[in-house]
Amino acid sequence: MPVGLSEPAVLLPIAGVRWGVAAAGIRYADRNDLALMEISQGAVTAAVYTRNSFCAAPVTLARQHGKTATTRYLLINSGNANAGTGAAGMKVALDSCAAVADAADCKIEEVLPFSTGVIGELLSAEKIQAALPHAYADLSADHWLKAARAVMTTDILAKGVSRQVEIAGKTVTITGIAKGSGMICPDMATLLAYVATDAEVAPVLLQRLLQQAVAGSFNSITVDGDTSTNDACVLVASGQAGIAFTAETDVGYAEFSVAVIGVFQWLAQAIIRDGEGASKFVTIDVQSGFNEAECRQVAYTVAHSPLVKTALFASDPNWGRILAAVGRAGIENLDVDKVSIYLGDVAIVCGGSVDVSYTEAAGQVVMDAEEITIRIDLGRGLAQGRVWTTDLSCDYVKINAEYRS
Amino acid sequence: MPVGLSEPAVLLPIAGVRWGVAAAGIRYADRNDLALMEISQGAVTAAVYTRNSFCAAPVTLARQHGKTATTRYLLINSGNANAGTGAAGMKVALDSCAAVADAADCKIEEVLPFSTGVIGELLSAEKIQAALPHAYADLSADHWLKAARAVMTTDILAKGVSRQVEIAGKTVTITGIAKGSGMICPDMATLLAYVATDAEVAPVLLQRLLQQAVAGSFNSITVDGDTSTNDACVLVASGQAGIAFTAETDVGYAEFSVAVIGVFQWLAQAIIRDGEGASKFVTIDVQSGFNEAECRQVAYTVAHSPLVKTALFASDPNWGRILAAVGRAGIENLDVDKVSIYLGDVAIVCGGSVDVSYTEAAGQVVMDAEEITIRIDLGRGLAQGRVWTTDLSCDYVKINAEYRS
């Protein structure tokens, strides 16, 4: 079950953005599996996509469309990733965008398509075309939560959050939703996150903000190390709050960007809390490295270790597995005598071997908690890196052995 | 249960090598957990060790001893890895070697220590010292299988094999044993493998042969991606068969090296067949790459993917997960339109999407088997790489959540 996560009680509307949903019957019966986001004229949209070489047809098409036109609609389906589907899949993605353009009287290039679900099966353009009018008719500023539910696959809970910040007497609102539970080790963004604000943000600045926000959120999480073919993250600035940013030095931009990054971090952490089979929420903090890259390398090595993950599942303070993972992380000339490792506030390793003050009872208290921080001090520099992850449970294996997603 | 593996019916003795075992009560009750290998005067020994930065005390000491003296004894205990134990652990390793030197009247430097088991707990030198006389008294040329059993931890079956090759009218024998089941992704050698031959091999040639044999065997397998702190592999040439090699061009060396490499490959594959929770034996063949390194990178990415591994466990031909893993393997400028993927002889992906001839029924037949080959053609060069791995089962999680090793 999700760790310290519940569905959002309220998601604040963003002026200039509406969501509509429909049940297209793509894979799931009796639930919405199609979501349409409408973005008002004059809004600015930034997006980042997976770096997986086998990226899905909708990712390829969304990249193209985003480069050639202003974005007016996002069309998202769950239940089928439309990945590994070749030219036929590309035609389905294009036909789906055309259906939106028909209904909304806009250009095909103004529609970005997104898909999530099983890889390698052809998506039905007909089902999407048939359901689209219902999604279009459903458009409303208050349908963020409905959209969050419609894009779920193996997610247990819908994930969304809102933040507000006062700038120069005006209220700026930011709302975001995300889905994702397995195949989570984003390399650019995670499998489908949509964040919107009513602030006005210059295009270059918005793209920079998106990349900054993604680096410390979706690009710092892992469930299973498997980067998806369909990862995508979109940030929309509708510009209707009466406040505009064109540079990082603008008054209020610092507060605004902190709020945006906060939304991204909350969503990224929510994906970990609802990770497949998750029973723990784990923060891995690596500090005192030469550079951020090696800190992240150590953090990811620990986060991906099946032996560390099963020990976390068992609440077993088997710190030797953490030590072994740090040791195999491929850090050149690591002086283990300078490495310290902590479970929460409990020092476990100091000078390359067990800390003299360590007791199994103290380690057990930390491991019994649902939220655990593993801190690793490399003792050779000033850089740091942080990754969030979860444990590896029997349920993870069952979910992925029994369910084809 | 181990996949296509049974205990060796017979392991041939090697003239000049004897094994003795004893029950030291280190962790397990009522079983042998100490093994002593005696190597005759005049034999040549080569060894390779883990590259894990946090290598264990016995690994550090064995490296030192191997450099400074001819090796006469190998002392191996199971149940405790003596890793992450600092100066105290180093003293235990040294005291254990001293105990052998006392019993056998040799120099401490002539003894190499090895440990396998739980990381981070202090090993008892007293227990080893008390049991050592029993192991010494037990020394026999016929105790290879007893030794293979004594070094087991989570292994279900003892692993050993013998080969013979006729060279210039003389019979050369090679016998090897290995242990290992989890924390298996060797980076130099696997957790404890001991191979001996009665051929005479010059030291430099023996070390080269060992490295060549390890590259295509222990360094090409993975259970869980976790490189151990204690990996070690030793090759002994006792020189008592009346045949000597000093160069690769010597008559009969080709046949001899093929036989040695065959023993290494058999042992490495046996470790996968007895991998923790294994229900499948999987060969990942990557071909037509620019170089061997990128082929191995793709093979390891597929082999480590929890989603591929759980699909293998479920016998689910969910090939989209293989495609996604290939796509995220970090190969620069991979042209997915040239990539082909095969399950056994069944083409699943061709030109970046599902092969037109593919049927789920054909894929299912391959996946239902216990032994599965995944072949990936990168379509961009002449190099190849091969990795052996296993699936990720509920039992893997249970073994590593419930048992501390």
pLDDT tens string A95-127? 999 999 999 999 999 999 999 988 888 999 999
State how far residue B391 is from chain A, nearest Cα, in angstroms. Answer: 10
Please tell me the predicted confidence (pLDDT) of residue A181. 82
pLDDT tens string A148-194? 999 998 889 999 999 999 998 999 999 999 998 887 777 655 668 88
Structure ipTM over 0.90, yes or no: no
Q: In the structure, what pLDDT confidence band is assigned to residue B184 with cuts at 50, 70 and 90?
A: confident
Mean pLDDT of chain A: 92
At residue A291, does pLDDT exceed 70? yes
At residue A219, does pLDDT exceed 80? yes
Asked if A31 contacts A146 with a C-beta cutoff of 8 angstroms, the reply is no
Across chain A, how many H-helices and E-strands are there? 11, 18
Please tell me the predicted confidence (pLDDT) of residue B403. 62
Query: Quick check: A225 and B305 CB within 8 A?
Result: yes
Please tell me the predicted confidence (pLDDT) of residue B239. 92
> How many residues belong to chain A?
405
Closest to A226 (Cβ–Cβ): which among B227, B229, B325?
A: B325
Residues of A annotated catalytic, as ranges: 190
Please tell me the predicted confidence (pLDDT) of residue A403. 62
Cβ-based neighbour number of residue A359 at 10 Å: 11
* Nearest residue in chain A measured CA to CA from B57: A353
Lowest-pLDDT choice from A218-232, A308-322, B140-154: A218-232
At residue B325, does pLDDT exceed 80? yes
Closest to B229 (Cβ–Cβ): which among A54, A310, A324?
A: A324
Which domains are seen in chain A, by residue range? 17-273 (3.60.70.12), 281-389 (3.10.20.340)
Residue type, B57: A
State how far residue B286 is from chain A, nearest Cα, in angstroms. Answer: 16
Cα gap A138→A304, rounded to integer Å: 41
Residue of B400, B403, B404, B405 to mutate, testing the A interface (most A Cβ within 10 Å of its Cβ)? B400
Please tell me the predicted confidence (pLDDT) of residue A192. 83
At residue B247, does pLDDT exceed 90? yes
pLDDT tens string A334-389? 998 899 999 999 999 998 788 989 999 999 999 999 999 999 999 999 999 999 99
Query: Quick check: A84 and B326 CB within 8 A?
Result: no
Please tell me the predicted confidence (pLDDT) of residue B224. 82
Residue among A130, A94, A101 nearest A115 (CA):
A94
Token duo for residue B104: 């056998």
Please tell me the predicted confidence (pLDDT) of residue B51. 81
Please tell me the predicted confidence (pLDDT) of residue B187. 66
Please tell me the predicted confidence (pLDDT) of residue A186. 74
State how far residue A159 is from chain B, nearest Cα, in angstroms. Answer: 23
Residue among B366, B281, B286 nearest B319 (CA):
B366
* Nearest residue in chain A measured CA to CA from B118: A320
Please tell me the predicted confidence (pLDDT) of residue B2. 87
Q: Which residues of A touch B360 (CB under 8 A)?
A: none
State how far residue A314 is from chain B, nearest Cα, in angstroms. Answer: 5
pLDDT tens string B331-367? 999 998 899 999 999 999 998 788 989 999 999 999 9
- The larger pLDDT score, comparing residue A234 to residue B21, is at B21
State how far residue A346 is from chain B, nearest Cα, in angstroms. Answer: 16
pTM across the whole model: 0.84
At CA B388, angle to CA B385 and CA B390, rounded to 5? 145
**What is the pLDDT averaged over residues A70-76?**
96
Beta strands per DSSP E along A119-254:
159-167, 170-178, 191-197, 200-201, 221-222, 232-237, 244-245
Query: Quick check: B397 and A310 CB within 8 A?
Result: yes
Residue among A261, A275, A282, A368 nearest A325 (CA):
A282
**What is the pLDDT averaged over residues B189-214?**
88
* Nearest residue in chain A measured CA to CA from B55: A327
Residue type, A213: A
Closest to B304 (Cβ–Cβ): which among A182, A225, A318?
A: A225
Residue of A188, A279, A328 to mutate, testing the B interface (most B Cβ within 10 Å of its Cβ)? A328
Q: Which residues of A touch B88 (CB under 8 A)?
A: 353
* Nearest residue in chain B measured CA to CA from A229: B324
Closest to B229 (Cβ–Cβ): which among A81, A327, A354?
A: A327
> What are the angstrom distances between the C-alpha of A360 and each of A6, A96, A316, A318, A390?
33, 58, 9, 9, 22
Q: What share of chain B is helix, strand, coil (3-state, %, to 5)?
A: 35, 25, 40
At residue B176, does pLDDT exceed 50? yes
Asked if B352 contacts B328 with a C-beta cutoff of 8 angstroms, the reply is no
At residue B188, does pLDDT exceed 60? no
Q: In the structure, what pLDDT confidence band is assigned to residue B404 with cuts at 50, 70 and 90?
A: low
Q: Is B354 exposed, middle or buried (0-12, 13-18, 19+ CB in 10 A)?
A: buried
Cα gap B93→A277, rounded to integer Å: 41
* Nearest residue in chain B measured CA to CA from A395: B394
Cβ-based neighbour number of residue B10 at 10 Å: 11
Asked if B48 contacts B210 with a C-beta cutoff of 8 angstroms, the reply is yes
pLDDT tens string B268-320? 898 889 988 999 999 999 999 999 999 999 999 999 999 999 999 999 999 98
pLDDT tens string B106-141? 999 999 999 998 888 899 999 999 999 999 999 999
| Rounded (10°) angle between helices B319-327 and B306-313 | 160
Lowest-pLDDT choice from B25-29, B210-214, B399-403: B399-403
Q: In the structure, what pLDDT confidence band is assigned to residue B254 with cuts at 50, 70 and 90?
A: very high
**What is the pLDDT averaged over residues A215-234?**
84
Cα gap A301→A328, rounded to integer Å: 8
Residue written as token pair 């298996």 = B184
Q: Which residues of A touch B351 (CB under 8 A)?
A: 86
Please tell me the predicted confidence (pLDDT) of residue B228. 81
Eight-state DSSP code of residue A108: G
Asked if B10 contacts B21 with a C-beta cutoff of 8 angstroms, the reply is no
Query: Quick check: B310 and A86 CB within 8 A?
Result: no
Closest to A334 (Cβ–Cβ): which among B53, B304, B313?
A: B53
Q: Which residues pair with A162 in a beta bridge?
A: A175
Q: Which residues of B touch A81 (CB under 8 A)?
A: 320
Q: In the structure, what pLDDT confidence band is assigned to residue B405 with cuts at 50, 70 and 90?
A: very low
Please tell me the predicted confidence (pLDDT) of residue A404. 61
